[in-house]
């Protein structure tokens, strides 16, 4: 059975690149009928936090990525926090030491830095010079008496390490590219490459899908698998996500965490659709793909080896498509949290729902509803710019405003249909048609040149507010 894992470090928010990795693992697992495991890699004690872990879990749930084993969900291969698996790492570290596949290193950080700089200056590789590889028992004892706490290094005895990547094909590394690497720090905490190999093996992970910034970690991990007599899983390294300037996606490109996109009003379905299609494409060529289609059509062969460019404009467009697919009730539920944090929180739910239904076709992000809703609730009209203001300054515009104001003042019963009938009378009585007829009314009632259907606007605003705004605009 296929078993994949997503293993974030709880040292901050869930980055959009890591979310893409989780999505690809989840989709492939669902496609294969396997198990998706969530593991928390929290051995970086200084930087890890409970708040970060909770934030990551909340973001994964918001995206709809359910896991079969991990935190909150019971499984047969726990615990699913690395901080609770330290004895396991020490056990297998001792096994490697007993097999002479690892050795104690007593070098201090300062010594390592000095010798590394000397090697680089001499034109040699910056890897560890293996000073402690062949220490005698007496030399080790002497160093221990100096109260030096040793780290544990892997004994690399292969010149070339090669592996087959599902996406990239055969990849090989030479030993001098990484040298004898550390398995356990001097404080006994495991290094990433060692702990994840132990966990992936014991949790029976069959496929490791991750960003190609991890390619250089793979030869180290394969060496550990071999030394412990374990079969490595299959590896698939997906291209990195780049900004439009072709540099790695970072804060300078805008939002980079899932929580930021959530706060800006993106919906989880569009984010999954968008991220899954970075470097992957459907054979159909379709842009909009439901979760069901993503799962059904997934194929590693359709993953490009080229870096993926994060096109925010395309994401905005895609998010708008998903928003317009929502029912009125679904959309209102989605935008309600944004209303509740705004100045309109005390408005009646019925009014807010009507406003939301009118604006649904006009937004690409849920958060935009609050800004666009102001035309329904403003008490004074301020034209958005000089061009807008000039619309009301023509003789024809003032005729239209005056005629419509008279019609409003004579009306007892008012709704959208009544408004349309009044506009027909205004056209007949003034002779003004088309844009010249409607644009002054829109500006007078909203202060904008473009916006929602005016019939909906006047119904929601009500006749008294319409009269007030028309009176104000008739004396400009």
Residues facing residue 160 across a β-bridge: 174
Q: What DSSP state is assigned to residue 320?
A: H
> Under a CB-based contact definition with an 8 Å cutoff, are residues 398 and 404 in contact?
no
> Under a CB-based contact definition with an 8 Å cutoff, are residues 366 and 338 in contact?
yes
Q: Please state whether the peptide bond connecting residue 314 to the residue before it is cis, i.e. omega within 30 degrees of 0.
A: no
Q: Which residue shows structure tokens 């989709």?
A: 27
- Give the CA distances from residue 388 to residues 19, 430, 439, 458, 464, in Å, rounded to whole numbers and listed in that order: 43, 21, 9, 19, 23
- Give the CA distances from residue 229 to residues 21, 225, 234, in Å, rounded to whole numbers and listed in that order: 28, 6, 16
Chain centre distance of CA 335: 20
Q: What is the per-residue DSSP string for 388-452? A: HHHHTTSHHHHHHHHHHHHHHHT-SS--HHHHHHHHHHHHHHH---HHHHHHHHHHHHHS-SS-S
Question: How far apart are alpha carbons 87 and 98 in whole angstroms?
Answer: 16
Tell which residue, 81, 64, 74, has the closest CA to residue 23.
Answer: 64
The residues annotated with a catalytic role in the active site are 251
**Distant-in-sequence, close-in-space partners of 46: CB < 8 Å, separation ≥ 6:** none
What burial letters (b/e) apply to 213-241, b meaning 16+ CB within 10 Å?
ebbebbbbbbbbbebeeeebbebbbbbbb
Alpha helices in 1-108 (DSSP H): 16-32, 50-63, 86-98
Tell which residue, 365, 389, 373, 334, has the closest CA to residue 452.
Answer: 373
């Amino acid at each position: 059975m296929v078993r994949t894992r997503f293993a974030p470090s709880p040292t901050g928010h869930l980055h959009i690149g890591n979310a893409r990795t989780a999505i690809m693992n989840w989709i492939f697992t669902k496609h294969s009928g396997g198990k998706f495991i969530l593991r928390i890699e929290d051995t970086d004690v200084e930087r890890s936090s409970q708040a970060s872990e909770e934030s990551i879990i909340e973001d994964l749930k918001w995206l709809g990525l359910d896991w079969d084993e991990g935190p909150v969900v019971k499984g047969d291969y726990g615990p699913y926090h690395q901080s609770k698996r330290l004895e396991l790492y020490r056990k297998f570290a001792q096994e490697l030491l007993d097999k002479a596949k690892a050795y104690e290193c007593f070098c201090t950080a300062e010594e390592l830095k000095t010798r590394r700089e000397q090697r680089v200056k001499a034109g040699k590789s910056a890897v560890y010079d293996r000073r402690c590889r062949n220490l005698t028992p007496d030399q080790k004892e002497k160093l221990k008496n100096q109260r030096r706490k040793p780290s544990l290094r892997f004994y690399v005895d292969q010149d070339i390490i090669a592996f087959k990547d599902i996406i990239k094909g055969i990849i090989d590394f030479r030993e001098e590219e990484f040298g004898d690497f550390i398995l356990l720090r001097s404080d006994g905490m495991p290094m990433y490459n060692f702990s994840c190999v132990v966990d992936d093996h014991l949790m029976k992970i069959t496929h490791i899908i991750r960003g190609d910034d991890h390619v250089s970690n793979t030869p180290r991990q394969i060496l550990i698998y071999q030394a412990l007599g374990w079969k490595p899983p299959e590896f698939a390294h997906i291209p990195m996500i780049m900004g439009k300037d072709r540099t790695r996606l970072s804060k300078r490109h805008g939002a980079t965490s899932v929580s930021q996109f959530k706060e800006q009003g993106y919906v989880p379905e569009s984010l999954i659709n968008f991220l899954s299609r970075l470097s992957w494409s459907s054979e159909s060529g379709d842009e909009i793909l439901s979760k069901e289609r993503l799962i059904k059509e997934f194929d590693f062969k359709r993953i490009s080896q080229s870096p993926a460019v994060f096109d925010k404009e395309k994401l905005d467009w895609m998010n708008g498509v998903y928003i317009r697919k929502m029912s009125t009730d679904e959309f209102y539920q989605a935008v309600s949290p944004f209303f509740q944090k705004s100045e309109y929180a005390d408005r009646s739910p019925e009014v807010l729902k009507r406003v939301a239904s009118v604006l649904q076709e006009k937004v690409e992000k849920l958060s935009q509803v609050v800004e666009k809703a102001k035309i329904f609730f403003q008490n004074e009209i301020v034209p958005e710019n000089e061009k807008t203001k000039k619309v009301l300054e023509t003789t024809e515009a003032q005729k239209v405003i005056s005629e419509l104001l008279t019609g409003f003042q004579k009306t007892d019963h008012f709704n959208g249909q009544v408004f349309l009938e009044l506009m027909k009378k205004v056209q007949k009585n003034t002779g003004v048609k088309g844009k010249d007829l409607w644009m002054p009314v829109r500006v007078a009632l909203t202060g904008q040149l473009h916006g929602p259907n005016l019939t909906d606007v006047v119904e929601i605003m009500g006749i008294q507010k319409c009269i007030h705004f028309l009176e104000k605009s008739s004396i400009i």
